[in-house]
Structure 1
Amino acid sequence: MNTCHGGASTLYVRFLLPPMYEAALPRLLSLLGEFTPEVEALPPDAALVDVRGARRYFGRGAVELAALIRVRALALYGVECAIGAGPGPMLARMAARGAAPGVTRAVPEGADGVREFLAERPVGELPGIGRATARTLCEYGLDSLGKVAAAPLSTLQRLVGARAGRELREKARGIDRTRVAPNAAARSLSAERPFPRDELDPFRHRRALLSIAEELGAGMRGDGQVCRALTLTVRYADRTTTTRTRTLPEPTAHSVALTTAAYRMYEALGLQRARVRAVALRAEDLGPAEHAAHQLTFDPVDERTRRIEEVADRARERFGPGAIVPGTLAA
């Protein structure tokens, strides 16, 4: 349990990635891994880092380690960071909300410092508090964390429930029972395709989406994972972007299913003569394929394409990723 006592032991690192640059996250996570193995990826652009061991090993405080991380991310990848430092994940996240690019914002040390940090903050800033709960609390005058911390436990439990009320009171007092949970497998996987010049041709847009879907599908199948949602990002010539997310009918790493979902999101945008600079797809909410249910089908085409996909994966594993590609991409 992380309480309000002691110095900062957790960093919340938010990488200020340019649009369409989400594929850089794995490399940035590797950078964090050079300081400590206790890294929890929070795609698409953040991570929690437990630096208790790193403080002892490097002989530096959490804020000093944050400065080193920021300098290395900027020097090696050209990516700026905004970092929050606190005694646990909850407070580190909250500190990061007010951190400007290139700045580490640390929660003051000690019980009094944490109490002062939390006191005037709106209840909606507390991680895990949804809009409905925040609205209910505000209706009863509990619009700040200081007021919530001072409220009788029975009052909070009457408003939000017994368990939720107890957790709310603890969090408002700076008590954080969460831990950094290192995750070897990323919870998302992304890829992008920039065009050599601003592209007007819808056929080339779709061709790029097909290429990305094939890459994501092969990557997930190789790692034994499936995704539950897919996000499409389109970047235009004026540097603006459009993002759409679709929850898939079932968890999948099947390239055809990913391509179909990507095409539908693209078509729903209704782009007409849009000058597109790049497109990207992100497979989200990854999980083990062995735990995913697959809807049985009597469609012989679907079964045939899955068998072909298995053969293609074995060929790519043996001869390289370019050994087999869809005919449209080989043209």
Structure 2
Amino acid sequence: MPHVLYVRFHPAPGEDVYQGLLALLGELTPVVEALPPDAALADVRGALRYFGRDAAGLAEIVRVRALARYGVDCTVGVAANPLLARMAVYEAQESGAPASRGGRSGGRSGGGSGGGSGHAAGSVRTVPGDPDAVAAFLARKPPIALPGVGPATARTLSAYGLDSAARIAAAPLSTLQRILGATTARRVHAWARGIDPAPVTPNAPARAMGAEHRFRHDELDPVRRRRALLTLADGLGVRLRTSGQVAAAISVTVRYADRSTTTRSRTLTEPTAHTPALTAAAYALHDALGLQRARVRSVALRVEGLMGAELASHQLTFDPADEKSRRLEAAADRARARFGISAVRPAGFLDVA
């Protein structure tokens, strides 16, 4: 019986709203796994009898409450395990059309392993629990549609004629082991048959802050993208310093015109709230993408691994330029505290859309 919900919120909520949405899920079940910044898993097996509804009915409750309380819609996949629930959401996002409760639609033709495709209007998609229905749902899915199968593995499988979940499931395990290796072959073979033993693991989201800049038009100019990252880094730096925190890691997410996304992250040399350090890391992550003429819809910056500033150490450099930069930053913070956040801004500041 379907009992796992994979919930994808859209538009992506801010940190405070995301925490509220997790608490909303916690009203239905204590078994909630946070998948920041915009998704979560919930095992509602223990809540079905209490609420007198099936899992799809609970998913509709989640949608209504998220919209009513936070103005955030969501697409919910309902299935017997996290793998199938995720795939139901990916299918809904690519089809672009809401599904009726319990509905099931045909194959999808693109990435399902990671950071995202476009989203449809909120909907609930259910994969029935009986084996024949699961086999029908998976049959025409390409390898890349299986969460956990990356582009390289998908290309390798397709090169051997294993270009659908049905063909992978029908292939002898020994054949897959020669192609992929023993461990990967066992996982992929199970996924192609809709088997996912991984449980929903209750957790707390990593302490983080994030911000996004949405361009008014699809942006081709890398200079404007860097200006947007500068603006985001400056805002996050102020928030960190105001709250007395530093960040240990940073990530950049780029959303394209087709609504697909790419995310890159790195651990900082040392935990910091220093805007130039955050900006330099953001620039490096952006430049490493090699976007060239990519049409970019938005860029987002997220700092993670937050801790109290008093717990972090700073490596002295004896660099007068670094010392001067930090003194200027402290003076700018004092001006902001007295005259408002817009009193001091970077020269390349972009108004956040």
TM-score (norm 1): 0.70
Cα deviation, 1:104-149, whole Å, max 9, x if unaligned, reads: 1111122222222222211110011011111111111111111111
Unaligned runs of 5+ in 1: 1-6, 195-201, 234-239, 269-278, 313-320
Change (3 A) 1:253 1:153: same
CA distance in structure 1 between the partners assigned to 2:153 and 2:282 by the alignment: 35
Alignment partner, residue 71 of structure 2: 78
- 2:102 alignment partner in structure 1: none
TM-superposition CA deviations, 1:233-292 (whole Å, max 9, x none): 9xxxxxx9x998664543634333225545788999xxxxxxxxxx985325x34769x9
User: Per the alignment, in what secondary structure is the counterpart of residue 68 of structure 2?
Assistant: helix
Aligned mates of 1:131, 1:263 — CA distance in 2: 26
1:155–1:218 Cα change, 3 Å: farther
Question: Which shows bigger deviation, 26-35 or 257-266?
Answer: 257-266
Report the residue type matching 1:29 in the other structure.
L
Q: Is the contact made by 2:209 and 2:236 (CA closer than 8 Å) also made in structure 1? A: no
Where does residue 229 of structure 1 map in the other structure? 251
1:112 corresponding residue in structure 2: 132
Equivalent-residue separation in structure 1 for 2:170 and 2:70 (angstroms): 45
For residues 89 and 60 of structure 1, what CA distance do their matches in structure 2 show? 20
The amino acid that maps onto 2:156 is T
Q: Please tell me the residue identity of whatever aligns with 2:5.
A: L
Is residue 180 of structure 2 the alignment partner of residue 160 of structure 1?
yes
CA distance in 1, matches of 2:325, 2:141: 52
Match of 1:48 in 2: 41
Aligned pair count reads: 290
Q: Does 1:328 align with 2:328?
A: no
Instruction: Give the alignment partner of residue 82 of structure 2, picking from 86, 89, 105.
Output: 89
Residues 168-212 of structure 1: CA distance to partner in whole angstroms, max 9, x if unpaired?
111112221212222213364214689xxxxxxx9x976775233
Kindly tell me: are residues 325 and 116 of structure 1, through their superposed partners in 2, closer, same or farther at Cα, counting changes over 3 Å? closer
Alignment of 1:92-171 (within 5 A): 92-99=85-92, 100=98, 101-171=121-191
Matches within 5 A, 1:261-300: 261=281, 282-284=301-303, 286-287=304-305, 296-299=315-318
Q: Which runs of 4+ in 1 moved over 6 A?
A: 263-268, 292-295, 300-308, 323-327
What is the CA–CA distance in structure 2 between the aligned matches of 1:208 and 1:168, rounded to whole Å?
39
Query: Cα–Cα, structure 1 residues 117 and 266, in superposed 2: closer, same or farther, change >3 Å?
Result: closer
**What amino acid is the match of 1:143?**
D
- Aligned to 2:302, the other structure's residue is in SS state strand
Could you tell me how far 1:98 is from its partner in structure 2? 1.9
Report the counterpart of residue 16 of structure 1 in structure 2.
10
What is the alpha-carbon distance in structure 2 between the residues aligned to residue 189 and residue 103 of structure 1? 28
CA contact (8 A) 2:4 2:79 kept: yes
| Percentage identity across paired residues of the two chains | 43
**Match 2:24 to one of 23, 31, 36:** 31
Q: Which one-letter code corresponds to 1:11 in the other structure?
A: L
Name the amino acid aligned to 1:142: L
Q: Cα RMSD over matched residues?
A: 4.5
Following TM superposition, by how much is the alpha carbon of 1:8 offset from its aligned partner in structure 2, in angstroms? Answer: 1.1
Partner of 2:235: 211
The answer to whether the 8 Å contact 1:191/1:216 transfers is: no
* Cα deviations by residue, 1:203-226 (Å, 9 ceiling, x for unpaired): x9767752332214555x65x862
Cα displacement (A) at 1:81? 1.3
Deviation at 1:159, TM superposition (A): 0.3
Q: How does 1:183-194 map to 2 (within 5 A)?
A: 183-186=203-206, 188-191=208-211
Q: Is the 8 A contact 1:123 1:145 kept in 2?
A: yes
1:62 equivalent to 2:84? Answer no
Please, which runs of 5 or more residues in structure 2 have no aligned partner?
A: 93-97, 99-120, 215-223, 289-297, 346-353
* Separation in structure 2 between the aligned mates of residue 177 and residue 305 of structure 1, nearest angstrom: 55
1:198 maps to which residue?
A: none
